[in-house]
Amino acid sequence: MSQSGSHAEPVAASESSSHRLQGLFVGEVGRRLRLLFAVVAIVAGVATADGLVGRSGSSSFPAAGSATWATVNSSDAESSAWFCVGGSGTGGGALGTLVLTNATAHAVSGTVLAAPTGGADRSTRVSVPAEGQIGVVPAQVAQGSWVAATVLLDGGGVGVSEVVTGPLGWSSAPCASSTSSNWYFAHGSTASGASLSLSLYNPSTTDAVVNITLDSSSAGVVQPPAYQGIAVAGGSLVVENVGDHLLDDPEVAAEISTSSGTVVAAELQSTPQAGGGGGSSLLLGVRSPVSEWEFPQNLDPPGGSLVFHVFNPSDHEASVSVKVGLAQGAEQPLSLRVAPRSGSELVAEHEMRIPTSGPYSLEFHAAGGVGIVVDREVLAQAGSAFPRAGQVHGVAGGAHRALLPAVIPPGTGASSLAISGLSSHPVVVTVRSAVRGVPLAGLDRRVVQPGRPLIATPQPGSPLGVVPLLVEASGPVAVELDASATGAPGAVVVPCFALG
Amino acid sequence: MQTPEALAPQVVAVVVACDPGEWFEEELAALAAQDYPELSVLILDVGVEDLTDRVAAVAPGAYVRRLERNLGFGASANTVLQMVEGASHFLFCHDDIAPDPEALSIMVEESFRSNAGVIAPKYVRWEDPRGLLHVGMTVDKGGAIVDRIEPGEIDHGQHDSVRDVFLAPGGCTLVRADLFAEIGGYDPQIFAMGENLDLCWRAQVAGARVMVAPGARVRHLQLLASGRRGLPDDVRNAVPRLFDASSVHGHDVEGRSQRAADEAEGAPARRRRVLRARRVRTRTEQVTLQSLQRRHELRAVLKNYGHFHRFRVLPQLAVSSTAEILVAWATGHRDRAAAVVHAWRWNVTERATLREARAKVQATRRLDDASVRRLQLHGSARLLAYLRRAVTYGRRAARLGHIDETEDAEGGTTAAADAERCIRERATRSARVVVWAAVILVLVFGSRQLVGSGFPYVGQLLPFASWSSFLHHFTSGWQPSGVGTTSAATPGTGILGLGGLVLFGGVGLLQKIVVLGCIPLGALGMSRLVGGFGSVWARVASSVAYLVVPLPYDALATGRWDALLAYAACPWIVVRLARASASSPRDRSEDGPEVGPEVGPEVGAGRISGGPAVGSEPLALLARSGAGAAGRRAPRWRTTLAGRALGLGVLEALLTSLAPSGAVLTLVLTAGLALGTLVVGGRGALKSSGRVVAVGVGATAVTTVLLAPWSVSVLAGPARWQELAGLASAPRSGATWGALLHLGVGPIGDTPLAWGFVLAAVLPLLIGSGVRLVWAGRAWVLAGLAWTCAWAGGRGWLGALSVPGEVMLVPAGVGVAMAVGLGVAAFEEDLPGYRFGWRQAAAGLAALLGFVATLPVLEASASGRWDLPANGYGEATSWMAQRSPGNFRVLWLGDPAVLPGGAWQLSTGLAYELSENGLGDATSLWPGSSPGPAGAVGAAVRLAESAETVRLGYLLAPYAVRYVVVVNTLGPSTVGSQPALSRSPPSDLLTGLARQIDLRQLISQSGFEVFVDDAALPERALRPSSPVGRAGAGHGATSTAPSSTASGAPAPGSSPALSGWRAVLRSAPGSTHVTGRVDAGTIFDAVAPASTWQLVGSTAQNQRAQLAFGYAASFRLVRPATVTVRFSGSWRHGLAVGAEVVLWVVVLGALSGRRRWLGRWRRRLGRWSGRWLGRWSGRGVDHGVSTVEGLE
């Protein structure tokens, strides 16, 4: 081919015979086109693939599932620990009882270390029988007004929750399987005689410094000086009464963060009602806000109220859509806008699209990945059975396998079990007894459609609520086991554990 | 009445002819055509050929006189003193001149008008009379000749004024006959080069004027000075031997040389090689034109000065000559040094004739030296000229300048073209100097803080260990990585140790050289890579582009030493692969023109117009056919595939020993170049591609052998690919495709401006043709492959072979920079061939983009440290050693991109490593492909990460892990002052660590978090009581015995196996022996393998270690004693290291091309064996060997 640098156009037609390609892709012109095509193909091809594939894990928020449900690690774990906080001592209004539920086929021994306020730590050895459940009262191990506990187990497969009982009834919450530097509570109240306590437990040996920020409906964002720089020594418990700083405030959200160290935080809400009664709710805080929350089973209490509190601790406004799941039919989603660092509420009875006669599920979804915290407050009609008030966080993320402890307080049982699928596909669910390992009648390989919760009520002789249960699903599900003999459905929820 | 012609003085033109060529007739014709009426022509025939017939044919009136032998121009010309009577002037002519018809008339007229004794004409080029050669010359006091005109100067009449000069250049010199007779003619000892200097000097001493008459124009071919006419053998071989008069005339040398040649004919092959080498050495001692010039200049000085000036000038001359010799030797200009030495040697040997000549000069002296020197230059003309050339053109040009001092060697080209080329090259070189000066300024300015204060301990920029530690690390057979291993150490540690030794222990300086030197080294390689295309600006552009791509600075900013090494090495690797892609060396003429990377435009013909035909191998431009720039011929075997693979293998081995990813990188380069060759296509593409693959793969095999046993241990390890490719960051941190394309994967390149070079690199694909298009295509395919690999690797799709993006992008940088350079070459060569249109606009846009692309790096240079964090983890964790009672380990966890030192992969985006007593040194950069027993530490971390333990401290305690450091950023991050690259580890890790009840968090700040394990054993500990249980002391749940009654936190570390220990025998990190006094009890040493450690005591019995905690060593001591715990290595390791060193020496020696030392050793071995055999057999020494030695 011509190599002259003075040619007007480097045409290589005369040399085309030396090439295999014909036509345009011949000679130097062909080579140029071929190279340009190759370069463009590589750049554009990979760019297309890059756009299609994207990058994993780019979300700025942690994965759901770690927000509310504690995870029971596998049975062959070397060790595990649970941190329980919120219960009072023997003289307090919310005596705490630790519920250790063993989902494994072998006994697991461990140590319960009780850390009271104003007293010395004490520990005791425990052994949780295979597929069994035991209760331990920390106040019996160590004396104090408030008693927190660390449960250290020589293995895995055991879930630990705490049940508080008192004059206003009882409540249950899971213990924390890890500490955190941030905890969030969507709602609390100091109005009408209600008391709101925040318990801060530092189970580690590292001292922690805690700051509490309150978001009040009346005072806005408040950072009481007394709640800034709270020193929580390693292994100690600090309990703060929010009412000391926010009096008669019906809407209080709390955000707890540490300057150093990590803690476990829980909220104990006591809500007396006029004329006696009321309720007491124990809530373990949410470690990180997430954008999706699920309430598998909701039912308006007759004469009472059902309120959902949405707290947006982020710096961005949250646009929240609320999808109502019905056994049959469908409703248009509701929408909420929650300003940054503020809360909002959804009163069920005020919404026409929320049914009043039957159970339904609610799914809260914040657009744009903005993290929110949502809980549900149930107030039963005066005169109902105790407890008449209850508060519970929603389920974030769900799990494929879940452990449901038995309902501990005597005289109680399960009123209903609700399972809702969190994926967009139908989920096959089986509920079996952890003790015997056999499916429950009517709950074997049930298909749960998206947006249509599966709700089961115990039949006579049913082990539902009596023994620990295992839920196995082909997709992520949210499970809610409501306790019976309460003033209103959903006032007390038995905590669930995700099985690792 | 006499006619005017009859009144003209008689002039005899004396032509000394020595076998002239066809131009001689033109000279004769020119002489015959002179308009001077009284001119006689005398031909002194000193050559072999009889010129009578040729003279008669052209100038029938000329006289021809044959001399018996060639005595040189001066001595031959002197014969006219005996042959000619009555002449007024002599016109001494070379046999390669052609005067204009009126030249002689003008010269004679001027002689009378100015009363001058010697008249010189204006010399112009033979083929192009517009080009000036000489218009008179001058000298300095040392006799150095300086021309009055610049090389390549065009004759515009600017030098046409008649003037006095010190020296009338030879060729056509008019000398008054009486003056010539009075001063005794030419100096007969001066054969050539300098005879006119001496003559003119003596003429002036005798009171005569030397003038130039530019109106007389003479064309001159300059056969001798340009080297086209060789010196006679007797002159060339007349190397003076001090105190050996017989050798002065060269017969001895000639005889020896001839004898060696004769012997070589019938000698065996081995001896022929030796004899041939001997002949070559003999030739190097021959007399050159430069030698003649220098010695005759010196002779003129020694002869023509008076006593006072001679003794004044001589010491200065001696000093300057000594300095010149030293500088010439130091800078590799040995011919110049040899010429100076020759000058002094020759004049010493000629001292007798010098004395006689000096006496004659003094006898004719009419002017003192001060008057004679009025036309000399002040100062040292040679020194000034050298400095001027060195500054203007570079050192190599300065070296070549000696040709310009005498005559121009480019006689074959037209004067106009030469002048234009000269001006262009000078302008180009000046611009290059400016560009490179600017580049160096930016580099120095941008690195000023690093040069001054050193590197922070971030990433792979860990402090260098002492040179002895490096060597000990390489040779000891035990490495402290993890908890200890007997895997072989990389030879890189040995190389760094040797480097530190060479720098007298200055390992800090070594680190700066190795780290910062990568940048200019890479640019130099890029210049070499593109040098074969013959465009100076292409070299400059590609080098600058390679210097300005963000890769090396991002590598510095992120502490990626491996990326820097790859940056330095990749262009050189591509150069070697490119050479390999050329056709077989057998297909090329060994004497063919060489325009290769080694031959710059300064010395080579250089420019390549167009390119080879499609399918012919354009790599011939890049391939070195054998001869080097200095004329040395590389061994032929090195141009074979095996030889090229060996050469590349050594380079790859060097790179891989320091950065193991170099092996993978070489294969990527090989694949990219081979693929590019196939994509570009053309005749022989498949073969060429195959050669590239063969050399690349072969080089990797060579690397494997050279790096054994380290390479073997790496390949045998479970994490071999991770060790070779490097650890992968989390896929979420993988750079976007856009970031990869503009080579911006770090803080400096993270700007849209960095797109400039990539876009500019498209230019050769658009406007290039021929070889430039071919290579631009290959460069782009290479870059495309690298980009794709980096993209796929960043997403974890390449598995364990995911080379970190910073490293994998280096080949892309090479391709882009190469394409930029080719764009410039295309602009110079191809663009003029197109009509004005979009191509010109594209070229302009590319230039603009290229300029814009330099801005990010220029901006980054302002910081003085290329955005490298000021503080590293070394400073942030220095407190650890003070807080701990004994030796301890630190467990480092984090993303591999930010983790300091080398590590093992734990999961995607999470790696771990162990160090002793704080942050480790550079020896931890090569942890090996297997963590060994330290793998249990990683397993424990995984348990914590997956929430399967809350007692990580208990699990880590037997491994002496006192601190756990989780790094999130490249260095400790300080808001506002030190932003650092952030790569958070998996969120489950911190959650899992926070869950641990026996880890205490000490520091939690932006950048890193530190946990302390209070239960950790010291690295060496003593428990006075019960011994360490082998089974029960192991880690695991079985040894857990939390207290059931004690108050306080659960104490999982209170296992009996972990309690009761106290620190003993503190030592430096990585020690293989430690001595101290120890009480009775059980000594625990947290090192592995336990079986390789032993206890030696003055009073205690030596004992091998017992196994503790499943991996560590323990010893029983029954009474207090001073003991030494030491590593007892295997002799096999020493043998392997020794064999490795020998292999390197042999390979490097073979590749250096200087195999004489090998031959010497071989002969010595032969002699020793001969003696031994002789003794054994009683026959004495092998005489054949002695003969060779004698020749040596």
Neighbours of B150 (CB within 10 A): 13
> Residue B1085 region, left (φ>0) first, then alpha (ψ -120 to 50), else beta?
beta
CA distance B623 to B1140: 31
Residue B935: strand pairing partners = none
CA distance B866 to B445: 10
In the predicted model, what is the mean pLDDT of chain B?
A: 79
Contact flag A53-B795 (C-beta cutoff 8 Å): yes
Q: Tens digit of pLDDT for each residue in B765-777? A: 998 888 888 899 9
Selected residue of B982, B997, B999 to mutate for chain A interface (largest A Cβ count, 10 A): B997
When pLDDT is averaged across residues B16-32 and rounded to a whole number, the result is 90
- Per mean pLDDT, which range of A82-86, A396-400, B1020-1024, B1030-1034 is the poorest? B1030-1034
Contact flag B1036-A78 (C-beta cutoff 8 Å): yes
Phi first, then psi: give them for residue B917, nearest 5 degrees. 55, 40
CA distance B329 to B646: 31
Residue in chain A lying closest to B951 (CA): A79
Highest mean pLDDT of the ranges B263-272, B710-719, B959-968, B1098-1107: B959-968
| Nearest chain A CA: its distance from B576 CA (Å) | 24
Give me the pLDDT at residue B738, please.
86
CB-facing half-sphere around the CA of A66: CA atoms within 13 A:
17
Q: Residue B825: its chain A contacts at CB < 8 A? A: none
What tokens were used for B96? 């390669």
CA distance B762 to B744: 18
What tokens were used for B24? 């001689």
| Nearest chain A CA: its distance from B770 CA (Å) | 6
CA distance B495 to B1048: 54
Q: Residue A75: its chain B contacts at CB < 8 A? A: none
Q: Tens digit of pLDDT for each residue in A460-493? A: 777 788 888 899 999 999 999 888 878 788 888 8
Give me the pLDDT at residue A119, please.
80
Determine the 3-state secondary structure of B661 from DSSP.
Answer: helix
What tokens were used for B591? 């004497």
Determine the 3-state secondary structure of A348 from DSSP.
Answer: helix
> Residue B1060 region, left (φ>0) first, then alpha (ψ -120 to 50), else beta?
left
Give me the pLDDT at residue B199, please.
93
What tokens were used for B472? 């000990």
B147: CB partners within 8 A, 6+ apart: B134, B137, B404, B405
Give me the pLDDT at residue B91, please.
94
Contact flag A80-B949 (C-beta cutoff 8 Å): yes
Name residue, tokens 């040679």.
Answer: B382
CB-facing half-sphere around the CA of B1033: CA atoms within 13 A:
23
DSSP character string of B14-48: EEEESS--THHHHHHHHHHT---TTEEEEEEE-SS
**Identity at B301, one-letter amino acid code:** V
Alpha helix ranges (H) inside B614-744: 641-658, 661-680, 685-706, 710-716, 720-725, 737-741
A161: CB partners within 8 A, 6+ apart: A84, A98, A99, A101, A172, A173, A174, A175, A405, A495, A497
Q: Is B787 on the interface with A (CB under 8 A)?
A: yes
Cα torsion B807, B809, B815, B816 to 10°: value is -130
Contact flag B950-A36 (C-beta cutoff 8 Å): no
Residue B1090's nearest CA partner among B1070, B1068, B1108, B1065 is: B1108
| Nearest chain B CA: its distance from A205 CA (Å) | 6
CA angle B1091-B1092-B1093, nearest 5°?
95
Cα torsion B594, B599, B600, B601 to 10°: value is -30
Name residue, tokens 């993270």.
Answer: B750
Cis ω for the linkage preceding B709 (within 30 of 0): yes
Give me the pLDDT at residue A199, please.
95
Is the pLDDT assigned to residue A12 strictly greater than 60? no
Is the pLDDT assigned to residue B82 strictly greater than 60? yes
| Nearest chain B CA: its distance from A426 CA (Å) | 29
Alpha helix ranges (H) inside B8-159: 23-32, 52-58, 73-77, 80-83, 103-114
B89: CB partners within 8 A, 6+ apart: B9, B10, B11, B12, B108, B111, B174, B175, B176, B177
* Pick from A46, A56, A78: CB nearest B737: A46
* Pick from B611, B731, B737: CB nearest A50: B737
Name all contacts of B540-544 with Cβ < 8 Å and 24+ positions apart.
Answer: B540/B432, B540/B435, B540/B436, B540/B824, B541/B820, B541/B821, B541/B823, B541/B824, B541/B850, B542/B817, B542/B818, B542/B820, B542/B821, B542/B822, B542/B824, B543/B439, B543/B817, B543/B821, B544/B435, B544/B439, B544/B854
DSSP character string of B405-470: HH--S-TTS-HHHHHHHHHHHHHHHHHHHHHHHHHHHHHHHHTHHHHHH---S-TT-PPPPPHHHH
- Report strand pairing: B961-967 vs B889-894: parallel
Selected residue of A21, A151, A201, A204 to mutate for chain B interface (largest B Cβ count, 10 A): A204
Q: Tens digit of pLDDT for each residue in A91-114? A: 778 899 999 999 888 999 999 999
- What share of residues in chain A are helix, strand, coil (percent, to 5)? 10, 45, 45
CA distance A432 to A439: 4
Residue B91's nearest CA partner among B224, B228, B218 is: B218
| Nearest chain B CA: its distance from A179 CA (Å) | 6
Q: Is B1088 on the interface with A (CB under 8 A)?
A: no
Burial class of B263 by CB neighbour count within 10 A (0 to 12, 13 to 18, 19+): middle
Query: Could you tell me the strand order of the sheet in which A389-393 lies?
Result: A342-347, A305-312, A373-379, A389-393
CA distance B700 to B702: 5
pLDDT band, very low/low/confident/very high, at B612 (cuts 50, 70, 90):
very low
CA distance B170 to B172: 6
Q: How far apart are the first and last CA of chain A?
A: 70
Cis ω for the linkage preceding A489 (within 30 of 0): no
Contact flag B1044-A50 (C-beta cutoff 8 Å): no
Is the pLDDT assigned to residue B1186 strictly greater than 60? no
* Pick from A36, A58, A124: CB nearest B732: A58
pLDDT band, very low/low/confident/very high, at A275 (cuts 50, 70, 90):
low
Contact flag B1046-A123 (C-beta cutoff 8 Å): yes
* Pick from A111, A150, A206: CB nearest B1000: A206
Give me the pLDDT at residue B281, please.
45
Is the pLDDT assigned to residue B487 strictly greater than 80? yes
Neighbours of B749 (CB within 10 A): 25
Neighbours of B709 (CB within 10 A): 19
Is the pLDDT assigned to residue B1032 strictly greater than 80? no
- Per mean pLDDT, which range of A171-185, A352-366, B1089-1103 is the poorest? B1089-1103
**What percent of chain A is modeled with pLDDT above 90?**
36
Neighbours of A335 (CB within 10 A): 10
The DSSP 8-state label assigned to residue B362 in this structure reads H
CA distance B814 to B598: 18
| Nearest chain A CA: its distance from B957 CA (Å) | 15
Q: Is B977 on the interface with A (CB under 8 A)?
A: no
- Report strand pairing: A158-166 vs B1073-1078: unpaired
CB B1141 within 8 A of CB B707: no
Q: Residue B739: its chain A contacts at CB < 8 A? A: none
**What percent of chain B is modeled with pLDDT above 90?**
29
A375: CB partners within 8 A, 6+ apart: A185, A186, A187, A283, A308, A309, A391, A392, A393, A394
Q: Residue A8: its chain B contacts at CB < 8 A? A: 833-835
CA distance B32 to B35: 9
CA distance B214 to B121: 5
Q: Residue A204: its chain B contacts at CB < 8 A? A: 994, 997, 999-1001
Q: Tens digit of pLDDT for each residue in B119-158? A: 999 999 988 888 889 999 988 888 888 887 877 788 888 8
B1052: CB partners within 8 A, 6+ apart: A79, A152, B951, B953, B954, B997, B998, B1015, B1040, B1042
Q: How far apart are the first and last CA of chain B?
A: 77
Is the pLDDT assigned to residue B733 strictly greater than 90? no
CA angle B796-B798-B802, nearest 5°?
75
**Identity at B342, one-letter amino acid code:** H
